[in-house]
Amino acid sequence: MVKHLGEWCRRTVRRGLSMAIFGVLVSVLLGACATAPISAPTGNADSNADSNSADATAAVDTSVSAYADWDAVLAAADGATVNWFMWGGSDVINTHVDLRVGAPLLADYNITLNRVPIENTADAVNRVLNEKAAGREQGGAIDLIWINGENFHTLKQADLLYGPFTELLPNSALVDWEDPAVAFDFGVAVDGYESPWASFQFVMEYNADAVGDAPPQTWEDLRAWILANPGRFTYPAPPNHVGSAFVRQLFYWAAGDVTPFLGPFDEALYAEVAPQVWAYLNEIKPALWREGQTYPELAVMADLLANGEIDFAMEYDAARASNYINQGLYPPTIRTYVFTTGTVANVSYVAIPFNAANPAAAMVVANYLLSPDYQATMSRPDELGWMVAIDPARLSAEEQAVLEAVAQGPATLAPQTLRDAALPELAAEWVAIMNADWEENVLTAP
């Protein structure tokens, strides 16, 4: 791995990528942790760090091997507090977690869930890195993190995660671990070091009044529609996560296969496929909204669709269109679809830091998040409206009926339709390079 570091550095500099990103990757690859102080997360993170008693750092075996079975985990978790560090920017999510997760955990398992709001998941990652650098091997401030993508990659590569623990969770049997969209988190094998919470999938949104009931479901047909209807289509500029996903899926289409993108960055493959992607995007550019001179933010694109200024939008949330219709933000004629070649899907996970003070209780939380009753509750439009992380085919007939009874909303595709079209995300290194090269080859191209 170190052998190729210099080559990657040269590519990074050549492509103009952020050296801050490069610095993070170097630290991970070399197993180094910064010794300088790192800013603490926002919210009440500091008070939670101090809430662990001094004897919490005593040499007590809290490794996965310490628990003979699930009963042993439950016994160790009884009466514990779980400090769950999670992005706190949504009142809807915060209230849901407090009422639908925290309250049942206290009532049924005598576990207190302390939701610690942070501005960015990287804040929690930095906290763990800081504690490792300070030699805090046990009694850490964080018991659970809402995580995926590069943040998971950073902690896993630095060997700072607890586990593998998912095989201990009874409800882990409800997860389809054979699905690469679940087993790989942005190209990084999960390997039992994080447990799913909810699923998300890219969908195209469109106004059926303008487009009709047969939207262009292939990339070739989409290109033809855009060229025939100038000014009626656009997409957010990468690195916006939705605009970036739109571009990534074009790479899958151009390559004709997803598999090569799941491994390390392949310069030869990229050199072969990238020109086809840039050619496609540059061909449609003059026919985009405002002739491709500007690319809207995600919220602006939704407004443009709602106001009838464009006929398509896109989102990495298959339920957003239905939720927006219910909230009066979208007209009732908005619908969604996926490409015949599929659309990227990913999973939000929870992970336990290597030095968690209460790993047993954190595992109980993770197991609860996978319970059929909770997954059905979470997926309700009046709750979060997220897609379930478990495989309905593994449920009992009664449990399947509960899930099927959840109203999907007028614009939300059937769960099986989405699952059949789900494509795995590619490794983070690919994403950074594609985003930077889009700017050079499309945004600023003449």
The number of helices, as runs of H, and strands, as runs of E, in the chain is: 20, 11
pLDDT of residue 138: 95
pLDDT of residue 169: 98
Residue 172 or residue 38, greater confidence: 172
- Residue 51 in this model has a pLDDT that exceeds 70: no
In whole angstroms, how far apart are CA 37 and each of 49, 129, 161?
Answer: 15, 10, 21
Percent residues over pLDDT 70 in the chain: 87
Q: Across residues 295-301, what is the average pLDDT?
A: 93
pLDDT of residue 179: 87
User: pLDDT averaged over the chain?
Assistant: 86
Distance, in Å, from the CA atom of 282 to the CA atom of 276, rounded to the nearest integer, reads 10
Does the global pTM surpass 0.85?
no
Distance, in Å, from the CA atom of 168 to the CA atom of 68, rounded to the nearest integer, reads 9
In a 10 Å sphere around its CB, with 0-12 CB exposed, 13-18 middle and 19+ buried, how is residue 101 labelled? buried
- Residue 36 in this model has a pLDDT that exceeds 80: no
Residue 116, classed as helix, strand or coil, is strand
Type and span of the H or E element at 185? strand 184-185
Q: Across residues 58-69, what is the average pLDDT?
A: 81
Q: CB of 109 within 8 A of CB of 364?
A: yes
* 384-401 confidence digits (pLDDT tens): 888 899 999 999 999 999
Q: What is the CA radius of gyration of the chain?
A: 23
At 10, the pLDDT band (50, 70, 90 cuts) reads very low
Q: Across residues 57-75, what is the average pLDDT?
A: 84
- 70-77 and 359-369 are packed helices; what angle lies between their axes, rounded to 10 degrees? 110
Q: Across residues 8-23, what is the average pLDDT?
A: 38
- Residue 285 in this model has a pLDDT that exceeds 80: yes
Distance, in Å, from the CA atom of 72 to the CA atom of 91, rounded to the nearest integer, reads 35
Evaluate the CA torsion angle 237, 240, 242, 244 in order and state its sign.
Answer: positive
At 19, the pLDDT band (50, 70, 90 cuts) reads very low
- Which amino acid type is present at position 433? I
At 381, the pLDDT band (50, 70, 90 cuts) reads confident
Percent residues over pLDDT 90 in the chain: 67
Q: Any residues with CB less than 8 A from the CB of 284 and at least 6 apart, and which?
A: 223, 226, 227, 233, 292
* 425-446 confidence digits (pLDDT tens): 888 789 889 999 999 999 999 8
Distance, in Å, from the CA atom of 98 to the CA atom of 96, rounded to the nearest integer, reads 5
pLDDT of residue 59: 60
Query: Which residues make beta-bridge pairs with 114?
Result: 83
At 100, the pLDDT band (50, 70, 90 cuts) reads very high
Mean pLDDT lowest for which of 95-99, 344-348, 363-367, 380-384? 380-384
pLDDT of residue 3: 33
* 336-353 confidence digits (pLDDT tens): 999 999 999 989 999 999
Parallel, antiparallel or unpaired: strands 144-147 and 81-87: parallel
Distance, in Å, from the CA atom of 292 to the CA atom of 235, rounded to the nearest integer, reads 9
Q: CB of 321 within 8 A of CB of 335?
A: yes
Residue 273 or residue 55, greater confidence: 273
Phi and psi at 29, nearest 5°, equal -65, -35
Distance, in Å, from the CA atom of 116 to the CA atom of 17, rounded to the nearest integer, reads 32
Mean pLDDT lowest for which of 16-30, 158-172, 387-401, 419-433? 16-30
- Which amino acid type is present at position 424? P
pLDDT of residue 399: 94
pLDDT of residue 46: 39
Q: Any residues with CB less than 8 A from the CB of 46 and at least 6 apart, and which?
A: 40
pLDDT of residue 303: 96
Q: Any residues with CB less than 8 A from the CB of 40 and at least 6 apart, and which?
A: 46, 49, 123, 127
Q: Across residues 190-205, what is the average pLDDT?
A: 96
Evaluate the CA torsion angle 314, 319, 323, 326 in order and state its sign.
Answer: positive
Phi and psi at 240, nearest 5°, equal -45, 135
Distance, in Å, from the CA atom of 53 to the CA atom of 70, rounded to the nearest integer, reads 26
At 317, the pLDDT band (50, 70, 90 cuts) reads confident
At 60, the pLDDT band (50, 70, 90 cuts) reads low
Task: Give the residue from 409, 236, 412 showing the smallest Cα distance to 312.
Answer: 236
Q: Any residues with CB less than 8 A from the CB of 72 and at least 6 apart, and which?
A: 66
Type and span of the H or E element at 223? helix 219-228
